[in-house]
Structure 1
Amino acid sequence: MFEEEIRFLRKMNKRQLAQQILNFLMIISSALMVWKGLALYTNSESPIVVVLSGSMEPAFYRGDLLFLGMPDEPVRVGDICVFKIPGRDVPIVHRVIKLHDEKETGKQYILTKGDNNQVDDRGLYNPGQLWIHREHIVGKVRGFLPYIGIITILMNDYPQLKYVLIGFLGLYMLVNRE
């Protein structure tokens, strides 16, 4: 079967090969457009995230796929939020445990903690930072699919798997006759 596909690839002219490559690029750009559309719809820079640790167990487990939204309503105690600390790339998924609203400026001070952690997140924040603010929050959790994100974790843990998968998809697009 694989030999037949190789023979088919060799028989392709430049126009057919270009068409297959364009089809592959169209699929990639469609996925990016869907992502951007979800970001606009949810008002969140990242509408979907994967739980990377066990700090939120039993609410969420490592590999759960979270759907986020950023509504106009204020953050409340008990909300599960995804936030980014300035200077760090990886977002954190934790629950809001304490709020402090400053009346003069209207600024909201937020303290978070993982459900499975013993202490609050002040040790995760930047040195000297005791609270996070609304601008640090990427979104509030609106729903989840259990363990679907484990694929992302495996590709991060084993980068060669990512290249094998991309190569396989590229080869499939080239030999696909439809």
Structure 2
Amino acid sequence: MIRVSPIQGTISVIIGVVILAGILLFVRCDMLIMIVLSGSMTPLMLPGDVIIVAPTDPDQVRVGDVIVFQHPGQDDRMVITHRVTGIDADTGLYSTKGDANSAPDRFSVSKGDIIGRPIFLIPFIGFASEMKKQVILLMVILPSLMLALLETRKLTHGPHAARRLSRESPVPKGQIFSIRYSRLFFLSSVVLALFLLLTVPSLSGIQTYGSFSGSSVPQNGCITVEGRGLVPEAYLICTPGVGGVPVYGIVQPGETVSIPISGTEPECTVARLPYVLPVFWFVGLAGLNPYLPVLALAILPGAFLTLVLHPLWAEKKFVKLRRKRRLVDRVLEN
């Protein structure tokens, strides 16, 4: 059994510290929040996604990096997020292109036009800006009215309810959590098993090519990625592509995609993941380790869902403190 008040206090402190640290980091680093409006970077970024942009040193930008910049010679309000495909060594100008565009941009970007790099993405919440009236009604006005009604009811019935409660229960009560470990184990096992089954096709499809692995690159210089499972999959070739631009995409179930590679790299790994998470997250995690996205999807959502379903395995109990304080203290100590 676990006391409620320490748990709630600890959770509140942790949430408060995380929010405060995020705000301080956001303010001190001069980060910006921007909404993706076009599909030029699909599927890495979708229209309606929100990106957090951090300032960057233009001299640190390399081919293959995604940058946020102002359109050269246009209004300052026109901001573009594209990938760097080339850097002119003589002029220092950057060539850019949207991942979903068939042709590169017709202009060149100077160092002064660069605003920063996207470091994090929040999917879909940018659509709220297109529905301001509905958002204000549903998220501001209606909750405010509900809070006002609840406060009015407390003010009206509060004194009478307090006196009635003191007459009916003169002895104060404490609240504790009683965890049913059998239910917790069963629920967590079922939830984790579901996500593990979802990721098994992608996990089995991760393959490494090259001189240090068991299989070599085909003679035609192309790697074949076949869609497995019941949902589309995101894939990424974890080695620099042509000119340093990463090679990634979406493959449908049963579809086969041939991806040309240079064949000069000593090792090449194809990372895969069911397309249920943003591709931006997948590419970032796969850049650290090809297996990291699959492991994150197999474990983290299941653990979070288990915590959300805590009413199924944690029961609240009320104990009269004066009469059973010693008993509760003994149970808590054990």
Q: TM-score w.r.t. structure 1 length?
A: 0.56
For 1:136-175, what aligned pairs fall within 5 Å after superposition? 136-145=113-122, 147=123, 150-156=124-130, 158-164=131-137, 165-168=139-142, 171=145
Q: Is 1:99 paired with 2:83?
A: no
Partner of residue 38 from structure 1, selected from 13, 18, 26: 26
Cα deviation, residue 173, structure 1: 6.5
Q: Any gaps of 5 or more consecutive residues in structure 2?
A: 1-18, 152-334
Number of residue equivalences? 129
* 1:39 Cα deviation after fit: 4.4
What SS does the aligned partner of 1:159 have?
Answer: helix
| Structure 1 residue 53 displacement after superposition | 2.0
Q: Distance in 2 between matches of 1:138 and 1:176?
A: 46
Residue equivalent to 2:93: 109
Question: Are positions 1:78 and 2:64 aligned together?
Answer: yes
What residue is the counterpart of 2:108 in the other structure?
131
Deviation at 1:159, TM superposition (A): 3.5
1:174 & 1:136 partners in 2: Cα distance?
48
SS at match of 2:60: coil
Deviation readout 1:25-53 (Å, 9 max, x if unpaired): xxxxx99x93x851432x44x1x323222
- Which residue is 2:43 aligned to? 58
Deviations 1:84-123 (A, max 9, x none): 22414242211011212447xxxx311211100011222x
Instruction: Name structure 1 gaps, 5 residues minimum.
Output: 1-29, 123-129
Mapped to 1, the partners of 2:143 and 2:112 lie a distance apart of: 38
C-alpha contact (below 8 Å) 1:155/1:161 kept by paired residues = no
Q: Which amino acid aligns with 1:131?
A: S
Q: Distance in 2 between matches of 1:173 and 1:121?
A: 51
Whether contact under 8 Å (1:52, 1:153) holds in the other structure is: no
RMSD value over aligned CA atoms?
Answer: 3.3
2:94–2:109 Cα contact (<8 Å) kept: yes
Q: What do the CA deviations read for 1:42-66 (whole angstroms, capped 9, x no partner)?
A: x44x1x3232222112222223332
Q: One-letter code of the match for 2:36?
A: V
Question: Match for 1:137: what amino acid?
Answer: I
Could you list the runs of 4 or more consecutive aligned residues of structure 1 that deviate by over 3 angstroms after TM superposition?
165-177
- When normalised by structure 2's length, the TM-score is 0.33
